[in-house]
Structures are given as C-alpha cells and as structure tokens.
Structure 1
Amino acid sequence: MELKFDLGMQVMTPGIANILGDGKICEELLDAFGRYTKCDWGDIPEEDKALNDKAVRVGDGRTLAAYNTSKGEIWIITDFGDEGNVTTMLLPEEY
C-alpha cells in the first residue's frame, strides 16, 4: 500500500480499544484506516476535506476524518509536527 502522506506514530485511544472484540468492527476499522491513508476523508464537509488536502500537501497542521461503523462514528486525526507526525484513531467524545 502506497501512503499519500506520513502517518508517523499510529495510536488508538482507550475508547477504540474498548470496542474491539468482534470481527466486524475490526474489519470496519481496518477499512476506515485504509481509506484514510488514501486521503478518503469519509463523512466530513467538503470544506474540511479541502483543508485536509492542503495539510497533506504542505505537511503542516492536522487532518481529521470521520467514518461510520456498526459501533458508531470514529475519527482518525493526524497531527503534523516538527518532531514527527502522530495519527490517532478515536471516538468523537474522546476529543
């Protein structure tokens, strides 16, 4: 898989860890992550997608994507930092 941008360190929050357990949600999370790596930002407004595309292009700021799963909405965020990028998978209420 060719990445469109540097994901950096990849982490999940306790909320994501707590919903793991059945094959369906694991498949959905893997699908969402695969979409994210291809700059498919999921279910966010077009203006936010444009901001994400700009952040990837210049390598600065942050991206945020939202995907619907059988356990509710999940977010994936990448913060572009001087000391390396960090990509986090989380539940919206954990933001």
Structure 2
Amino acid sequence: MKDVDQLERFPLGRIVMTKGVHLSIATDQLVVALLRHAKGDWGDVCDEDRHTNEESLTRGFRLLSEYRSLDNTKFWIISEADRSCTTILLPEEY
C-alpha cells in the first residue's frame, strides 16, 4: 500500500479551519475531504474551476475544492498558491 504522502499531488502546508467549520462539520468528514483535495479530487466545483485547478498545479496558483458534509453543508478547501497553508471554510465565511 502506498504511503498517503505519495498519493498527494501537492503539499497542504499548515491546515486551518474557520469557527463555522469547526462547529458544523465532523472531523472525520474533514479528513476525507482533505485527502480528496490533496489527491486532486476537487469535489463539486464547476468544470471551469476544475480546469483552473489543474492549471494551477503546474503554475503555482491557489487551489479551490468544494465538498458537502453528510448533512449537506457546503464547505470549501483552499490551498494558497505557495502551498504554505490550506484553509477549510464555509462559503459565507469567505
């Protein structure tokens, strides 16, 4: 079995979350979403954002994924262009 680090397409850097995410989404669901994000599974983003993310991997721009929790709460994961930090937030907290 491959190590998790080998499955990542980019480093997540420091991982932070907003208060809204902390209060509304279970940790296990966040971990699954972070692993998907790191593998390049961008979740529910539109085709244009999916294409932008793929280009951003090679050009070093910001990455955005969108997921939903089991209770259908939408949340975003954003990795900064320099990959120093990944933030999990609710859209209304942007």
- The TM-score normalised by the length of structure 2 is 0.84
Give yes or no for contact 1:75–1:89 (8 Å, CA) kept in 2.
yes
Give yes or no for contact 1:19–1:71 (8 Å, CA) kept in 2.
no
* Whole-angstrom CA distance in 1 between matches of 2:38 and 2:30: 12
Amino acid at match of 1:10: I
Report which of the two has the higher share of strand.
1
User: Is 1:87–2:92 an aligned residue pair?
Assistant: no
> Which structure 1 residue ranges, 5 or more long, are not aligned?
none
> Which structure 2 residue ranges, 5 or more long, are not aligned?
none
**Runs of 4+, deviation exceeding 2 Å:** none
Per the alignment, in what secondary structure is the counterpart of residue 62 of structure 2?
A: strand
- The TM-score normalised by the length of structure 1 is 0.83
Matches within 5 A, 1:41-52: 41-52=42-53
* Whole-angstrom CA distance in 2 between matches of 1:71 and 1:14: 18
What is the aligned residue count? 88
Question: Cα RMSD between the aligned structures?
Answer: 1.5
1:78: which partner in 2? 79
